[in-house]
Amino acid sequence: MTVYYIIIGVSMLVSWWVSSRLKSKFEYYSNVHLRNGLSGKEVAEKMLRDNGINDVQVISVPGQLTDHYNPADKTVNLSEGVYMQRNAAAAAVAAHECGHAVQHAVGYSMLNLRSKLVPIVNISSNLMQFVLIAGIAIMAASRSIENPNGNTTVLAIGVAMFAVTTLFAFVTLPVEYDASNRAMKWLKDTGTVTQEEFVGVQDSLKWAARTYVVAALGSLAQLLYWGSLLLGGRRD
């Protein structure tokens, strides 16, 4: 298990560093105030209108960096620091979340795939750790002269669950990058932000995207570890 703890430790360290950089970037660009005076809420509403979307509501939610688009009730949920603020960071987040609303409206395939995976991922993420630990225990306890590898069935189920969550993490990458690209294109093409403000938008969204990359790579590393245990247990 030492290798597993090393993977977890490295993943957590990199994730912490990227998250810290993201927070510092948002704090910095929160001081770059928009010349047009639009708040995050107003930027979101303008982007939705410009894309012909009239059935999505922009609302405020508590917390920091809790912004998200909910396709179930068609709401763009902006954190308190984004909803009312009038700076480059708020514009970046608001436009990004509206990018997801645009994806939903046009039927973006990767968003549809991610939505279909959500119920399976919810079940897998809640149970897989217990199944993996049980699988290791059963494999070790069932080893014998006749069956030196032990019973790997439960471990295989756990690895399959982990594979689903890893797939979800990688499917999320194009969804997030596409939403950011839609946001930046709209902000630039419509002149909603100046060139100086656009630099802040671009840098903020770049670091936000990297959090998803780190999560996906961390999940892949853990999957490979559990997969190696499974294949090792099955080796003759």
The answer on pLDDT for 1 being more than 70 is no
Distances (CA, A) of 230 to 125, 135, 146: 19, 9, 18
The answer on pLDDT for 11 being more than 90 is no
Q: Beta partners for 33?
A: 87
The answer on pLDDT for 233 being more than 60 is no
Question: What is the count of structural domains for the chain?
Answer: 1
Distances (CA, A) of 166 to 110, 120, 125, 215, 222: 15, 12, 10, 9, 9
Residue 77: which domain range?
1-233
Residue among 96, 43, 66, 47 at smallest CA distance from 204: 96
pLDDT of residue 215: 94
The 10s digit of each residue's pLDDT in 73-99 is 999 999 998 999 999 999 999 999 999
- H or E segment and range at residue 76: strand 75-79
pLDDT of residue 235: 43
Distances (CA, A) of 151 to 1, 163, 201, 231: 19, 20, 53, 12
The 10s digit of each residue's pLDDT in 22-49 is 989 988 998 999 999 999 999 999 999 9
- Confidence label for 148 from pLDDT (cuts 50, 70 and 90): low
HSE at residue 229, side-chain half, CA atoms within 13 A, is 26
pLDDT of residue 65: 81
Q: Residues 114-123: what's their mean pLDDT?
A: 95
